[in-house]
Amino acid sequence: MSGTVRLTMAQARRRLRDLRSRQRGRRGRGAVSIPIQRLGNVAGVGEALYRYRTELPTYRAHNEQAMAHAAIAYAKAHMRRRLMACTTSIGPGATNLVTAAALAHVNRLPVLFLPGDIFASRAPDPVLQQVEDFHDAAVSANDCLRPVSRCFDRIMRPEQLLTALPHAIAVLTDPAQCGPATLALPQDVQTMAYDYPETFFAPKTIVFEAARPDERELARAAAILRGAKRPLLIAGGGVLYGLGTHALAAFADAHDVPVAETQAGKGTLPWDHPLQQGAIGVTGSPAANALAREADVVLAVGTRLSDFTTGSHSLFAQATLVHLNVNAFDARKWHGVALVSDVRQGLVALSSALEGWRSDAAWKVKSTSGADRWRAEIARITGKRDVKLPYEGEVIGAVQRSSPESTTRDVVVCAAGTLPADLHKLWRTSVPGGYHMEYGYSCMGYEIAGGLGVKMAMPDHEVIVIVGDGSYLMLNSEIATSVMLDQKLVIVVLDNHGYGCINRLQQACGGAPFNNLFVDAVQGGGGVPRIDFAAHAASLGALSENVKTIPELEAALRRARAADRTCVVCIETDPTRITEEGGCWWEVAVPEVSDRESVRKARAAYEHDKRQQKA
């Protein structure tokens, strides 16, 4: 008969240290670490973290949103097989998690949030940082996390942890439900003791299930594909998270099916594979989008089919859609024929059901020749070195040329602005995880914090953060954290003096340049700020330098790669140039009424393009 152990509720969370994982017969420890900002939870959570600091390491960050981004990136880099937890104070610390929680929710990524909460007893109310609701005394700031959490619970008694924590872990490790879990911890309940059963702390093995496809759904999907002459496979992030890259390559090779990749799915197939078409959609390559417009069947694998992938439901509207996804919600989008299954199991079963079937020979020739032309075009775009004022494409080329191992050892990290489009098209990677883009939520400020999380997950890889000046200014504090933790990053800052991406979009919709670039913004007597990003990074403990040309950038990057701590290299870039090749329509609503001719023309073009949209 098992006994009990008396612990506070905060101490009882030591159960996190005893998690193990198993995937398809393989065993290994599931690492759960806790980055912490200590404010408002020192007495309860703080003492518990100190007690178990060896087994359950605690990392100090500088911003709650940033530490959550790092935790999310850590899980993404581990293909959702490992995760971190974040604990905060009851007020701004908790609400600073909301943006990161939404990011994790959209991207289907696991992170455990443990924010402090107001006293369950209400004896000292209102306490410091408490948000008071005039009509509901049970509401706290943590309720902001409800709509952006896959599961939410408030622990009002210490024994509730016995059911709440296992439920949260189940959600975090479920391939279909995966996302952020929040357990709000009232300050007084953190310190309450309870006689927990020893069995609660017994080592637990988490099995990552691989759901097999339903035979009827499989037969229907196979029948549709057998009738296809011009199929296209769109690979999403689920291929990576489902450890399905080998199965995908085998499927493509066996059936001569060209492959295009979403932002989350980039890296599922090596960049130089003959059937690799590159990026799909609004930020897509000419090769992939040309095939998408002609395909008779699209097999969407592990993607949630965002508007950037579908061209706002216009890019492959003529095709029959078969959607293989572990999540039934995603598998049934856009009137698709659903095949609900683990990606690897689904691709293997589908390939078996299609034995002997291949796409038309002419389609294979078209796809391989188009892919070859696009790879040659990438080399031309990124190969320019003698330019007066470079743009993103030329910077990307310099980053990759700075190391002969860039396609196998580098992990590029980015999130928002113009860079995601150019990186999606132009970055070359040969390994799953070599491209780390947060573009489900397109969250400015993710880049540097995310890079830290990736480096913690992949210490043997060179982590290259490429970030615009706007995102750098928004959230750069984890440069100091990376230096403190000896987690070296190479950060390339592109300074185009404002929000170049939004400025161009504004004008594409008929608008005038307004309030995006510094020069078009309201200014005081001092005029446009002159920001020295290298000097700022140096003040945070990083090595840093400013460069002006592409050859100077290449040389600086070689020095950065050889350095022993985080390096920041800043280069001025052109806010007007973009990679013109590729892309497709994206629905951005334009005003129906305007006294400006440019807006009226943009509205007419919008109405014309919208007619291509599939209902």
Q: How confident is the model at residue 18 (pLDDT cuts 50, 70, 90)?
A: low
Is 558's pLDDT higher than 90? yes
> Domain check: are 387 and 432 in the same one?
yes
Domain stops at, among 207, 230, 251: 207
Is 498's pLDDT higher than 80? yes
Q: Is residue 579 part of a domain?
A: no
Taking the mean position of all CA atoms in its chain, how far away is CA 534? 27
- CA atoms of 441 and 418, how far apart (whole Å): 14
Is 33's pLDDT higher than 50? no
Q: Find the CATH number of the domain harbouring 404.
A: 3.40.50.970
Is 25's pLDDT higher than 70? no
Half-sphere exposure of 232 (CA within 13 A, CB side): 32
Is 299's pLDDT higher than 90? yes
Instruction: Tell me what the mean pLDDT of segment 280-284 comes to.
Output: 98
pTM of structure: 0.96
Name the β-bridge partners of 369. Answer: none
Instruction: Tell me what the mean pLDDT of segment 456-474 comes to.
Output: 97
Look up tokens 């140096």; give the residue.
538
Percent of the chain's residues with pLDDT above 70: 96
- CA atoms of 455 and 449, how far apart (whole Å): 10
Residue 13, pLDDT score: 78
Identify which has the larger pLDDT, 45 or 176: 176
Residue 423, pLDDT score: 98
> Domain check: are 190 and 235 in the same one?
no
Q: Is residue 398 part of a domain?
A: yes
> Domain check: are 227 and 266 in the same one?
yes
> Domain check: are 46 and 161 in the same one?
yes
- CA atoms of 258 and 483, how far apart (whole Å): 43
Nearest in space to 342 (alpha carbons), one of 361, 358, 328 = 328
Residue 209, pLDDT score: 79
Nearest in space to 489 (alpha carbons), one of 448, 524, 540, 443 = 448
Residue type for position 456? M
Look up tokens 């899980």; give the residue.
75
Contacts of 533 (CB under 8 A, 6+ apart): 469, 472, 493, 495, 544, 546, 568, 570
Is 390's pLDDT higher than 50? yes
> Domain check: are 345 and 392 in the same one?
no
**Chain segment 131-185, per-residue pLDDT in tens:** 999 999 999 999 999 999 999 999 999 999 999 999 999 999 999 999 999 999 9
Taking the mean position of all CA atoms in its chain, how far away is CA 19? 25
> Domain check: are 526 and 604 in the same one?
no
Instruction: Tell me what the mean pLDDT of segment 535-544 comes to.
Output: 98
Is 39's pLDDT higher than 80? no
Instruction: Tell me what the mean pLDDT of segment 398-423 comes to.
Output: 96
Residue 30, pLDDT score: 45
Q: Is residue 222 part of a domain?
A: yes
- DSSP structural state of residue 517: B
> Domain check: are 291 and 437 in the same one?
no
Instruction: Tell me what the mean pLDDT of segment 370-396 comes to.
Output: 97
Contacts of 163 (CB under 8 A, 6+ apart): none
Is 28's pLDDT higher than 60? no
Residue 41, pLDDT score: 57
> Domain check: are 552 and 451 in the same one?
yes
Q: How confident is the model at residue 247 (pLDDT cuts 50, 70, 90)?
A: very high
Residue 182 sits at φ, ψ, to 5 deg, of -120, 125
Instruction: Tell me what the mean pLDDT of segment 107-116 comes to.
Output: 95
Range with the poorest average pLDDT among 27-41, 364-378, 534-548, 582-596: 27-41
Is 36's pLDDT higher than 70? no
> Domain check: are 310 and 358 in the same one?
yes
Q: Find the CATH number of the domain harbouring 298.
A: 3.40.50.1220
**Chain segment 508-520, per-residue pLDDT in tens:** 888 888 898 888 8
Residue 48, pLDDT score: 84
Range of the domain at 597: 586-615
Is 554's pLDDT higher than 60? yes
Q: Is residue 578 part of a domain?
A: no
The tokens describing 152, both together, are: 């939410």
Q: Is residue 520 part of a domain?
A: yes
The tokens describing 532, both together, are: 């020295």
Contacts of 529 (CB under 8 A, 6+ apart): 518
CB burial string 253-266: b at 16+ within 10 A, e below: eebbbbbbbbbbbb
Q: How confident is the model at residue 31 (pLDDT cuts 50, 70, 90)?
A: very low
Residue 53, pLDDT score: 81
Q: Is residue 577 part of a domain?
A: no
* Domains: count for the chain: 4
Residue 40, pLDDT score: 43
Average pLDDT, the chain: 93
Residue 45, pLDDT score: 83
- CA atoms of 359 and 399, how far apart (whole Å): 37
Domain stops at, among 207, 237, 270: 207
> Domain check: are 13 and 118 in the same one?
yes
User: Is residue 462 classed as helix, strand or coil in its secondary structure?
Assistant: strand
Q: How confident is the model at residue 614 (pLDDT cuts 50, 70, 90)?
A: confident
What radius of gyration, in Å, describes the C-alpha atoms of the chain?
A: 25
Strands (E), 416-474: 435-437, 462-468
Residue 182, pLDDT score: 98
> Domain check: are 366 and 395 in the same one?
no
Contact status, residue 248 vs residue 234, Cβ threshold 8 Å: no
Is 22's pLDDT higher than 70? no
Q: How confident is the model at residue 42 (pLDDT cuts 50, 70, 90)?
A: low
Instruction: Tell me what the mean pLDDT of segment 340-362 comes to.
Output: 98
Domain stops at, among 207, 228, 261: 207
Is 615's pLDDT higher than 70? yes
Q: How confident is the model at residue 52 (pLDDT cuts 50, 70, 90)?
A: confident
**Contacts from 249-253 at CB under 8 Å and sequence distance 24+?**
249/273, 250/347, 250/348, 250/351, 251/347, 251/350, 251/351
Name the β-bridge partners of 195. Answer: 6
User: Is residue 87 classed as helix, strand or coil in its secondary structure?
Assistant: strand
Instruction: Tell me what the mean pLDDT of segment 210-226 comes to.
Output: 96
Look up tokens 């939520």; give the residue.
441
Strands (E), 70-226: 83-88, 111-117, 151-154, 180-186, 193-197, 204-207
CB burial string 349-385: b at 16+ within 10 A, e below: bbbebbeebebeeebbebbbebbeebbebbeebbeee
> Domain check: are 267 and 401 in the same one?
no
Q: Is residue 377 part of a domain?
A: no
Is 1's pLDDT higher than 90? no
Is 24's pLDDT higher than 60? no
